[in-house]
Structure 1
Amino acid sequence: MITVVGTGTGAPLPPDAEAAVAGAALVVGARRHLAAVRLPEGAERIVLGPLAPALDAIARYFDKADGTEETDGQQETYEEKETDGQRGGRVVVLASGDPGFFGIVRALAERFGSRRLDVRPGVSSVATAFARVGLPWDDAVVVSAHGRDLRTAVHVCRSRPKVAVLTGPGSGPAELGAALAHRSGARVLVVASALGDPAHERVERVTPGEAAARDWGTAVSVVLCLDESRVLAPVRTVAGPAAGPDRWALDEAEFAHRDSMISKFEVRALALARLGPRLGDLVWDVGAGSGSVAVECARFGAAVTAIEKTPDGCDRIRANAAAHGVEVRVVHGAAPTVLSDLEDPDAVFIGGGGRELPAIVTVCARRARRAVVVAMAALDRVPAVRDALDAAGFACDGVLLQSSRLAPLPGNVTRLAATNPVFLLWGVRPPARTEGVPQ
């Protein structure tokens, strides 16, 4: 049996966890965790650094306790040990907070099986950080940047008003602040250091720019990214990120637009299906016009940048985003030139471009990680757009959308009113080939 004890956020170990440690034959934990508890005399200990060697050491201990161990291809037999009535003694793993929440329980369960684990959770660093600032967190989104690419955390922080980011080397408050300083709305970062340590705990509110300018050391475990105007959401039934929209491909009347210059809902419906916007993604809407596609992507949880060359168009996009309660970053400028200053997107929708359209598609296809979707009214531009997608290595497909809508006539009768046909082309980047794995 492996007893996993959560510690490290200030609360003393409960009696049953103390008893588990007292009866341990092998104790595994970070240096600070091992120093914070009274270890039984004679117990073996492993200082937790890289995870794989520690898991291997635990496996060897179990092999030894079970009476067998592989040494140079020869199976050696050991005398069975009895400690506290358990064969081979107890293995205790000390971890921070709740070890089942982005913690070591996952790795232990995968290696040894969940039935071999006895987990005694403590209070997670996320719960502690929100407690320190007096906020509920059932509506927060939690993202781990520990040992992971920071970009997902950045995009979630841009699109959601209450986010907790679990940090790590190279993905701390400074890096997060630098990424958010010029790409998000009014955000405050709450940086929690040495949580639970009475002598060293610090919880500081800073702007992203201030966070970027500091050296925070290694004691930070969690950063809260908050839009303080929206941190108190209505009572929730389901924890975590807000539920997705109950409908999409909204009617054109639900957006402010100029002279019907807006992607029709039939076009948006298919475009959204091919873009696949989701929480943690970055989507560009190039030639955004009214920003209807940008707003719909943001409603699905994506971080969105809308590129529009006209000042009045930029104002409309901001107004539409505010009316639908989402955040859209608006960039005033002409594509493809203005795109060079933007972070690489996961998906791109191109709804405008004129004569520059092939060049815009070429740039977007080179930088998009997953998909590019292009809407066109002009037949002449279809071949060049398809060539640009093909040249970038995308799998390309498309349709001509021709729809007719119900329209009333006098006498309480109905006719079909045709909308203008639109070509929708899309390119999807094939998955990367893995050497030795057939595709």
Structure 2
Amino acid sequence: MITITVLGTGTGAPPAGRDRTVLDAATLVVGGQRHLDAAAVPEGAARVVLGPLAPAFDAIDEHLAKDGAGVVVLASGDPGFFGIVRALAERFGADALDVRPSVASVAVAFARLGLPWDDAVVVSAHGRDLRTAVNVCRAHPKTAVLTGPGSGPAELGAELARRTVDRTMVVASALGDPEHERLERVSPAEAAARDWGGAVSVVVCLDESRTLSPVRTIAGARPTPSQWALAEGDFTHRDSMITKFEVRALALARLGPRLGDLVWDIGSGSGSVAVECARFGAAVVAVEKTADGIGRIRANAAAHEVDVRIVHGAAPTVLSDLADPDAVFIGGGGRELPAIVTACARRARRTVVVAMAALDRVPAVRGALSGAGFVPDGVLLQSSRLAPLPGDVHRLAATNPVFLLWGNRPSDTAIEGAVE
């Protein structure tokens, strides 16, 4: 039995038609102050201004116990899209709801820009950690961010201005309000320098060179790759100086790159690990000290159509201005390797994976992982590949053995020096 009507508001005008009839019959109306002010709530109806959900839901519960009580909840746009419908359904059950959506703010923003949004990734920063939204904006050419207090255009712009590839931000304020609606196209640095007030609805983050994608079948982020641990021939590299695909396969399994993550690839070389992580949707920073390596990383990222931020320099010196990563892959380092592992482990939120050929460095790397509070593990990878021989027969050709060590941070361990 339907007991709660949820009205999505889109234009700022009072509800009309069937929605007006429901509102006029309501004995309790719940909503944000601006929604209540705009809706022309009937004089005899009780009002509850939404703040914390629990007191409002308790008031609804108490009101529903009365005979003939009619409850209306006013919400922005489509209340089933990052909105109040989830919380209402959890408390009162989906069968108790009559949801009447208006146009979602994201749809309005892209309509005003004249852009399709089936290829956009939508992420909410309202009451959530901003770093996920930042990483999605870093990794994808078209992202919509639903804003909230402390996670608005200024905060988003401040992170993107110094830690990502080029992006344009479109700040949409008071969408649907005929008098106050505004869309402003700014750089991340310009967004960071402004006081935007409280009327922002959504921020669209764009790589303007890629605002139109090919025709899509599945909306949102592009599907995860059908293949990974790609062959070495799929990358530009120097004299076979590339992480072999067998090693890459296990490294990717331990790194677990995903949408919303940030991954560092230290000593990136050809960038094969960086590119593969980016293909899974993660934001990626590739750190490489050689100039020719920088060129190869850039070429491989372009060839596989992913964004990889490239930092030219040596670890751990250049790591201080980077955002804290979720996972780190270290594929080089020489005598500096234990110090690099220690520096990365202090910053990594989840995992550090290290590939090395030298047996002598294994104890020091394992000690560095343990010393940073990680639980270390590892394997020696030795593989033999099929290689052709004359006469249409094959032999097994051994590849160089590689030690792969990794450490996982215990879930209850805090991150030393974490930057939010």
Tell me which interval the TM-score lies in, with the shorter structure as reference length: over 0.9
Is this contact kept in 2: 1:5–1:92, CA < 8 A? yes
Contact 1:9–1:125 under 8 Å retained in 2? no
Q: 1:403 to 1:11 in 2, by over 3 A?
A: farther
Residues 107-145 of structure 1: per-residue CA shift (max 9 Å, x gap): 111111111111000111111101110111111100000
SS of equivalent residue, structure 1 residue 189: strand
Tell me, yes or no, if the aligned pair for 1:335 and 1:360 is still in contact at 8 Å.
yes
**Cα displacement (A) at 1:10:** 4.4
Measured in 1, the distance between the counterparts of 2:24 and 2:246 equals: 66
**SS class of match (1:344):** coil
C-alpha displacement of 1:37: 1.5
Letter in 2 for 1:320: N
Q: Could you tell me which residue of structure 1 aligns to residue 88 of structure 2?
A: 108
The equivalent of 1:360 in structure 2 is 340
Matched residue, 2:53:
51
Note if 1:30 corresponds to 2:49: no
Cα distance in structure 2, aligned partners of 1:38 and 1:191: 29
Residue 345 of structure 1 and its aligned partner are, at CA, apart by 0.3
Corresponding residue for residue 3 of structure 1: 5
Matched, 1:241 2:221: yes
- Secondary structure at the aligned position of 1:239 is classed as coil
1:398 matched to which residue of 2?
378
* 1:20-40 C-alpha deviation (Å, 9 max, x unpaired): 101101001111111112222
User: What does residue range 81-100 of structure 1 map to in structure 2 within 5 Å?
Assistant: 81=67, 87=68, 89-100=69-80
Alignment of 1:124-273 (within 5 A): 124-273=104-253
1:417 aligns with 2:419: no
* RMSD of Structure 2 on Structure 1 (CA): 1.3
AA in 1 matched with 2:327: A
Q: Deviations over 1:262-295 (max 9, x none)?
A: 0000000000000000000000000111110000
Contact 1:9 / 1:96 at 8 angstroms: preserved in 2? no
Kindly provide the CA deviation profile for residues 152-179 of structure 1, in whole angstroms up to 9, marking residues without a partner as x: 0000001001100000111111111111
The structure 1 residue matched to 2:358, chosen from 369, 378, 384, is: 378
Partner-residue secondary structure (3-state), 1:41: coil
1:297-308 superposed matches below 5 A? 297-308=277-288
Secondary structure of residue in 1 paired with 2:320: helix
Answering whether residue 309 of structure 2 is matched by residue 329 of structure 1, we say yes
Match of 1:211, SS? helix
Please tell me whether the aligned partners of residues 30 and 47 of structure 1 are also in contact (alpha carbons under 8 angstroms): yes
- Structure 1 stretch 177-186 or stretch 109-118: which is displaced more? 177-186
Deviation at 1:41, TM superposition (A): 2.9
Query: What does residue 42 of structure 2 align with?
Result: 40
**Partner Cα separation in structure 1 for residue 164 and residue 411 of structure 2:** 30
Report what 1:69 is aligned to: none
Do 1:369 and 1:429's aligned partners in 2 also have CA atoms closer than 8 Å? Answer: yes
Is 2:14–2:38's contact at 8 Å kept on the other side of the alignment? Answer: no
Contact 1:22–1:38 (CA under 8 A) maintained in structure 2: no
Aligned partner letter, 1:2: I
CA distance in structure 2 between the partners assigned to 1:352 and 1:184 by the alignment: 23
Contact 2:64 2:70 in 1 (8 A): no
Gapped regions of structure 2 (runs ≥ 5): 415-420
| Post-superposition CA distance 1:6-25 (Å, at most 9, x none) | 00434663522111101101
Task: Give, in angstroms, the shift of residue 48 of structure 1.
Answer: 1.4
What amino acid is the match of 2:308?
Answer: V
Runs of 4+ residues over 4 Å off in structure 1: none
Return the alpha-carbon distance in structure 1 between the equivalents of residues 62 and 374 of structure 2: 48
SS at match of 1:229: helix
Q: TM-score, normalised by structure 2?
A: 0.96
**Corresponding letter in the other structure for 1:257:** H
Unaligned 5+ segments in structure 1 are: 66-80, 82-86, 435-439
* Structure 1 residue 117 corresponds to structure 2 residue 119: no
Is residue 288–residue 351 contact of structure 1 (8 Å, CA) maintained in 2?
A: yes
Which residue in 1 is equivalent to 2:418? Answer: none
Aligned to 2:417: none
Which letter maps to 1:353? Answer: G
The size of the alignment, in residue pairs, is 412
8 A Cα contact 1:26 1:44, kept in partner = yes
Task: Report the Cα distance in structure 2 between the residues aligned to 1:47 and 1:380, rounded to whole angstroms.
Answer: 66
Tell me if the contact between 2:10 and 2:104 (Cα under 8 Å) persists in the aligned partners. no
SS of residue in 2 equivalent to 1:222? strand
Any conservation in 1 of the 2:12–2:38 contact (CA below 8 Å)?
no
Residue 342 of structure 1 pairs with residue 344 of structure 2 = no
1:433 CA drift (Å): 7.7
State the secondary structure of the residue aligned to 1:373. Answer: strand
Query: 1: distance between equivalents of 2:220 and 2:200?
Result: 23
CA distance in 1, matches of 2:20, 2:228: 53
Name which of structure 1's ranges 379-388 and 182-191 shifts more when overlaid on structure 2. Answer: 182-191
